[in-house]
Amino acid sequence: MTVSLFDPVQLGELALANRIAMAPLTRNRAVNNIPSELTATYYAQRASAGLLISEGTPVSQQGQGYADVPGLYLPAQVEGWKRVTAQVHAAGGKIFSQLWHVGRVSHTSLQPEGAAPVAPSALTAATKTYLIDPVTRQGSFVAASAPRALQAQELPAIVEAFAAAARNAVQAGFDGVEIHGANGYLLDQFLKDGSNQRSDEWGGSVENRVRFVMQVVRAVADAIGAGKVGLRISPASPANGIHDSAPQPLFEHLLRQLAPLGLAYIHVIEGATGGPRELPDQPFDYAALKAAYRDAGGQGVWMVNNGYTREMALQAVASGYADMVAFGKDFIANPDLVQRLRQGAPLNPGQRETFYGGGAEGYTDYPTLGSS
C-alpha cells in the first residue's frame, strides 16, 4: 500500500497527523531573546503541520549569532516558550525546538563581554549575520567577526549546554528537540574540513571530525531520550561559507555512527540551503546516504527539505524516498499550508522584507484560504 504525504506517521513516541513538517525558520522577533505572545500566535496558526520545528534557539549566549532570536538557557526563555507550546498543543499540534550553537557565525556585539565568537579553528566565516540597532531598531546584515579556536577543555561545557537546553525544552513543553547540525554553524564547522583544521582528536580524520557531533547527540539523547531527538544536516550546502572536500564519505560515516542511537529522525537539507537543489561542484548522493543509515540499522523518520513543490513532496513520500517533507518559506506565508497542499490550492507569496525582524506584519497576518 502506498503511503501519502497526508497520512499519519509515528515519530519516536509521537503520533503525527501527517508527514508535513514546518522547517525551522529564523524570524528575529524575540526582543530580549524571549519568545512573545505573538510568537505563540504564529506557531499556533501553523499547528496543522504534522510537526512544527521551532526557529533556531541558542543553547547559550555564546551560541547566539543573530539579533532577537529566542534562547533556551534562561528561566524567562523557558517561561516564554511555555506559552508557545501550550497554544500549539491546544490547537492540536506537535512542536520540537531546534537547539542551536552558531560557532563562528556571530558578531562580537552579541557575545558575552564582547568576546570573539568561538570555532573549531580561527578561520573567519565568509558570511553575514543579522543585527538590530538597539536604539533605532533598524536591522542590518553585518560581516561575521573573526573567531578564536576553542580549546579542547572547553568542549564538555558546550556539550552540556546542549543537554541542559534539551532538558529546558522538555520543561517548556516541547515534544522533543532537533539538533542543528547544518548550515555552517558550530556542529557543521566541526564536521567539515574547510572550517576544522585542528590537529587534536577533534580534527583531521573523518573519525575525529564527527566526534563533537556524536558527543552532542549522545548527551542530548541521554538527557531526554533518543526518541525525542532529531538531527538536521546539510551535507553539500555552502551556507555560511562552509565547505568540505569530500562530504559523501564524511556524512555516510556520521550516519553509520548515529544509526544505533535510535533517534526520532534525520532531517536532510538537499543541495544549497534555500537555493539550488543540484550543485554541479558538490554532487551528493542523498539516496546513498539514507541507504548507509538504514544498512547500519538506523530506523526512524527520514525527513527531507529544500525547495520541495507539492508534486515533489507527494512523489517523495509515495515512492518511499522520504518519510516526511519539511517546508520552510511556504510555511511563512501559508499558515494553512497543509490544507492548501491537500486541495492543490494556490499558495500566498512570501514577503521577503518581513522575513527577519519586525512585528506582526508578515508574521501572523498571512491569510488562510477563504479569509482573503
Residues that bind ligand 8OZ (CB under 6 A): 26, 56, 66, 183, 239, 273
CB nearer to ligand 8OZ: pick between 39 and 273: 273
Neighbouring residues of 105: CB distance < 8 A, sequence distance ≥ 6? 65, 117, 125, 127, 129, 144, 184, 185, 240
Considering the candidates 185, 293, 356, 363, report the single residue annotated as catalytic: 185
CA gap 136, 90 in Å, rounded: 37
Q: Are 356 and 26 in contact (CB under 8 A)?
A: yes
Q: From the CB of 129, what's the least distance to ligand 8OZ, in Å?
A: 8
Which residues is 129 bridged to in the sheet? 142
Amino acid occupying residue 52? L
Which residues is 115 bridged to in the sheet? none
Q: From the CB of 305, what's the least distance to ligand 8OZ, in Å?
A: 11
Q: From the CB of 213, what's the least distance to ligand 8OZ, in Å?
A: 15
Q: Are 40 and 30 in contact (CB under 8 A)?
A: no
Q: Are 186 and 176 in contact (CB under 8 A)?
A: no
Across the chain, the runs of DSSP E, i.e. the strands, are 9-11, 14-16, 20-22, 51-58, 95-100, 118-119, 128-132, 139-143, 148-149, 176-180, 229-233, 265-269, 301-305, 324-327
CB nearer to ligand 8OZ: pick between 56 and 235: 56
Nearest CA-CA partner of 49 in 85, 100, 92: 92
Q: From the CB of 325, what's the least distance to ligand 8OZ, in Å?
A: 17
Q: What are the counts of helices (DSSP H) followed by strands (DSSP E) for the chain? A: 11, 14
CB nearer to ligand 8OZ: pick between 239 and 303: 239
CB nearer to ligand 8OZ: pick between 175 and 178: 178
Q: From the CB of 65, what's the least distance to ligand 8OZ, in Å?
A: 8
For residue 363, indicate whether it is catalytic.
no
CB nearer to ligand 8OZ: pick between 28 and 348: 28
Catalytic residues: 185
